[in-house]
Structure 1
Amino acid sequence: MKLYTILLSTLSLFSALSTSAQQHAEQDHSKYVVPTDPLVQKKLAKWQDVKFGLMMHWGTYSQWGIVESWSLCPEDEGWCERRGPHSHDWFEYKKAYEEIPKTFNPVKFNPEKWASAAKNAGMKYVVFTTKHHDGFAMFDSKYTDYKITNTPFKSNPKSNVTKEILSAFRNQGFMTGTYFSKPDWHTDSYWWPYFPPKDRNASYDPKKRPEVWQKFKDFTYNQIEELMSDYGSVDILWLDGGWVRPFNTIDPNISWQKSITYEQDIDMARIAKMARSHQPGLLVVDRTVTGEFENYVTPEQQIPDNYMSIPWESCLTMGDSWSYIPKENFKTTHKLVHTLVDIVAKGGNLLLNVAPGPDGEWHQEAYTRLEEMGKWMNVNSIGIYETKPLSPYRKGKWAYTKKGNTTYAFYLAEAGEKIPVSLKPEGISLSATAKITLAGNKKALKQKEGAIQVPAKTADEIGVQPAYLLVIE
């Protein structure tokens, strides 16, 4: 296994930077459909208020330290490249990959530790990968033997890790979400053994083989129903694999959608109706399939250039990879705080990915980053939670939100920059009678010639921060 880790770990760099970032960059958001269900509207409003969430990609691929699922995909792309002793033969590689569960045993799994770290960082919702494209179920599905409860970890009382994770985070007050891949490269009703797969799509034409496709639709429906009925309250059904979609939803102006060969309609209306019968008000996120089942949009590994009025969430990695790699390149706390403020000022949420390792533990550096973000949030979250964007949203080094009659003006400092003694927010006008304070400091600041003055003593008291928050009332 060490050989795989050494030879394959570089693959995961491509997962964050190449695969679906392009896929989501081109999506046309002008056709967003506003939900009509009052319960969905209420849930969506609550979700838009919490702003900051945790995502976790975790599966057997973590044991090899490789890109999640994509090395199985027979496409000639960088993120699908195979390495290691079985790389010369796809069939041999797939067989070896699908035998990883025989030794997968995350004995350090402790979801309560994750939930506490995320809560202390200021996160308020979680989305966990219950099944990625490789088809390995991180829950105890009765519709497959390819699952976490059929590994050496099965004797552990917490072997049904999805149930344990959702419960641990729910107990900390989090909204909970289940990532689920619509394509399944393990089940023989998607990659039908009669035809070898050519790419990420079904290996057969569903219109020509309706009985095989119906089997896959039922399999998908049944697994989602398990998640919606057996795992407590769930707030978000986060569906990935946008090439599984009705053919009439393909946008010919989007490059990656041109590669979708077949009609792959899994009947989202039926799935959503069933899911909401178990989870009233459930947010359904059928990523990139614009319409009534994409309750919010999900730009990946990017932040929109401008404010967007529709509900949206940037899903980003804390490091370079979605999945675990032995040596990760984590973003600085300074970068992460700026990312959160930038997204919130433009009307979005940040879903930040941390990848557990094969032993069921995070890198220590991930805990450190969350602890440092939490220290900043403890002082400045008043300008994050339950706020609305305020024009001009972003201007130079400034970002703006509001709540009622209060304006929150974030000054995005350079790394190590002390707050300037004189500040002039760009793009907004200050009333001469406005009460202005710094978050975490009750002393009123004075204005001079339209600029806010920060006494040296006050600057010393608040210390150096990634971003400084002016509260303007």
Structure 2
Amino acid sequence: MKTSENKTTAPEWGRVVHEAPKWFRDAKFGLFFHWGPYSVPAYQNEWYSRNMYTQGLEQNIHHEKTYGSLHDFGYKDFYDMMDGSKFDADAWADLVVRSGARYAGPVTEHCDNFSMWDSQVNPVNSVNYGPHRDITGECAEAFRKRGIKFLSTFHHQWLWGWFMSTDNEADVYDPANEKYYGPALPLETNRYIPYRYPDEKFCKMWREKVFEVIDKYQPDAIYFDSRTCIIDEESRFSIADYYYNKAGHTDGIITYKQEDFPKGIGVYDIECGRFSQAKPYPWQSDDRLEDNITWCMVQEPKYKSAARIIHQLCDIVSKNGCLLLNAGPYADGSFHPEAVKVLYEIGDWLSVNGEAIYETRPFRVAAEGPTDVQDANYDVEKIREQLDKGDAADVHSDILTSLDFRFTQKDGTVYGIAMGWPEDNTLRIRTLGRKGPGKLVLDENSRLSLVGSSSPVVWKQEDEALVVDLPEDRPCKHAYTVRIEGGHF
């Protein structure tokens, strides 16, 4: 932005301060899908496209052993092997609905310059190569038909230096391949914060890709991965200003990581993260269904249990957050049966207990129990470690027990969610005792019930705990919700 004296002025970030819309705060649970040419080798993780070009890394050794030299077989040669022959946007929408997620979308562009939409800006896209289909467009249409808010995720700031190789003969250095990999740059540009920042040409392309997706698909939410901070401030501001003000998405939301955007312009996202206490602002954690350290399909996939994801969701929601969960499909666009099974199981739980999750807000106490949940995040230190070693670190989630509770509230009703079924069929909730920190007073007009069960529960509020005797029949698996109506403070 220029003044009449031709001096650069700081963007007016106050113009794009934007609170999370009600739909986002109510949704609580979303899905996204890492799918791209990296799904073809399906080896270790979605950083294959970068690590295959670093001599000595395991993915580089695997690549040359399996596919040949980097000169003869580069990342571009995976494009048409990603045929998408089993991709069905309606089936993806069915999976989202069945999982209980309320917002979703495919990764719009990862770090690899492969745009998953019908792009006029970038010729390297899913219409010209690979599936020869507009993945983003088909998903947007199918998802919205099912009432799912549409998400677009952008990781393409990582392209700056992403493909630079320690092998001078690699195809990334052939000028004829610049449209696939970008221009040849100093090797150091692949660091998290390089000495040489993106030039105006790169930033212009970065902007235009996002503008194009906004114009063509009107995403309800836009997610920016980490490292967006290397893009010049004016470009970052122009995206927020265009999305919220010029394109008129007053009910949309931007999510961002670290300090890549100023506070107040969107929702703060912590990758694989959690907070120990509830926050006064809405936030998001993006995490993986995969139990391998990968966000994409790999050759021998493993998946987290439904119980683990459900407990994570309850913990996040109790602390004013939303969980955005990833599931990576095969190169053909289909999902592993075990991933589908776990997502169905999560959906089954939400079909019973969703009233304690959707549209809720934090109770005055978020959590109770012996499990010590500390703040955690896939922070810059971990990102740098991954850049240096090629291997991603993991952020381990805590295993919650029947002695752990999470609390939410909605329209005067309080929900206490137990993270397991007690052996003696009795819950003792200290937070909700007469002298407990929840400061909830129950009387003869108060009503307690077990969500999903028609059997009555016997309860009494003692000074030290709310004691609830549960029926023998369990209404679901993994976590159990006590509905408390008619309490007062």
Partners of 1:79 and 1:384 in 2: how far apart? 43
The one-letter amino acid paired with 1:423 is L
Partners of 2:58 and 2:264 in 1: how far apart? 29
The one-letter amino acid paired with 2:253 is L
1:322 counterpart residue number: 295
Report 1:78-117 matches (<5 A): 82-86=60-64, 92=70, 96-117=74-95
* Pair 87,306 (structure 1): closer, same or farther in 2 beyond 3 Å: farther
* Pair 37,195 (structure 1): closer, same or farther in 2 beyond 3 Å: closer
Instruction: Describe the superposition over 1:135-178 as per-residue Cα deviations: whole angstroms up to 9, x where unpaired.
Output: 11111212222221122532xxxx11111111111111111111
State the secondary structure of the residue aligned to 2:325. strand
TM-superposed deviation, 1:236 = 1.1
State the secondary structure of the residue aligned to 2:431. coil
* Pair 48,270 (structure 1): closer, same or farther in 2 beyond 3 Å: same
Contact (CA 8 Å) 1:245, 1:266: kept in 2 or not? Answer: no
2:102 counterpart residue number: 124
State the secondary structure of the residue aligned to 2:255. strand
1:348 counterpart residue number: 321
Partners of 1:274 and 1:91 in 2: how far apart? 44
1:236 counterpart residue number: 221
2:239 counterpart residue number: 271
Q: What is the percent sequence identity of the aligned residues?
A: 23
Partners of 2:105 and 2:130 in 1: how far apart? 25
TM-superposed deviation, 1:330 = 0.8
Contact (CA 8 Å) 1:217, 1:266: kept in 2 or not? Answer: no
State the secondary structure of the residue aligned to 1:82. helix
TM-superposed deviation, 1:295 = 0.8
Q: Which has the higher helix share?
A: 1
1:422 counterpart residue number: 426
- 1:331 aligned onto 2:331: no
TM-superposed deviation, 1:339 = 1.1
1:30 counterpart residue number: none
Unmatched tracts of structure 2, length 5 or more:
1-11, 164-177, 370-403, 434-440
TM-superposed deviation, 1:180 = 1.1
The one-letter amino acid paired with 1:385 is Y
Report 1:292-331 matches (<5 A): 292=263, 294-319=265-290, 320=292, 321-331=294-304
Partners of 2:205 and 2:41 in 1: how far apart? 28
In the superposition, the TM-score normalised over structure 2's length comes to: 0.75
1:223 counterpart residue number: 209
- 1:439 aligned onto 2:439: no
1:280 to 237, 249, 263: 249
1:53 counterpart residue number: 30
TM-superposed deviation, 1:44 = 2.5
Over the residues paired in the alignment, what is the CA RMSD in angstroms? 3.2
Contact (CA 8 Å) 2:406, 2:417: kept in 1 or not? Answer: yes
- 1:183 aligned onto 2:158: yes
TM-superposed deviation, 1:45 = 2.6
1:213 to 199, 209, 227: 199
TM-superposed deviation, 1:453 = 4.0
Partners of 1:241 and 1:299 in 2: how far apart? 10
Instruction: Describe the superposition over 1:58-97 as per-residue Cα deviations: whole angstroms up to 9, x where unpaired.
Output: 1000000032135515998999853324289999279511
* Pair 305,144 (structure 1): closer, same or farther in 2 beyond 3 Å: same
State the secondary structure of the residue aligned to 1:64. coil
Partners of 1:452 and 1:93 in 2: how far apart? 69
1:257 counterpart residue number: none
Contact (CA 8 Å) 2:452, 2:475: kept in 1 or not? Answer: no
- 1:164 aligned onto 2:138: yes
- 1:142 aligned onto 2:95: no
* Pair 193,175 (structure 1): closer, same or farther in 2 beyond 3 Å: same
Partners of 2:88 and 2:408 in 1: how far apart? 36
2:394 counterpart residue number: none
Instruction: Describe the superposition over 1:220-252 as per-residue Cα deviations: whole angstroms up to 9, x where unpaired.
Output: 121111101112x31111112425436xxxxxx
Contact (CA 8 Å) 1:177, 1:238: kept in 2 or not? Answer: yes
TM-superposed deviation, 1:274 = 2.2
Instruction: Describe the superposition over 1:303-351 as per-residue Cα deviations: whole angstroms up to 9, x where unpaired.
Output: 2222222221111111132111132111111111111111111111111
* Pair 340,103 (structure 1): closer, same or farther in 2 beyond 3 Å: same
Partners of 1:174 and 1:335 in 2: how far apart? 24
Partners of 2:406 and 2:226 in 1: how far apart? 33
State the secondary structure of the residue aligned to 2:158. coil
TM-superposed deviation, 1:46 = 1.9
- The count of corresponding residues between Structure 1 and Structure 2 is 406
Partners of 1:453 and 1:205 in 2: how far apart? 62
Contact (CA 8 Å) 1:445, 1:452: kept in 2 or not? Answer: no
TM-superposed deviation, 1:440 = 1.6
- 1:380 aligned onto 2:353: yes
In the superposition, the TM-score normalised over structure 1's length comes to: 0.77
1:14 counterpart residue number: none
TM-superposed deviation, 1:442 = 4.1
* Pair 387,299 (structure 1): closer, same or farther in 2 beyond 3 Å: same
> Relative contact order: is structure 1 or structure 2 higher (C-alpha 8 Å, sep ≥ 6)?
1
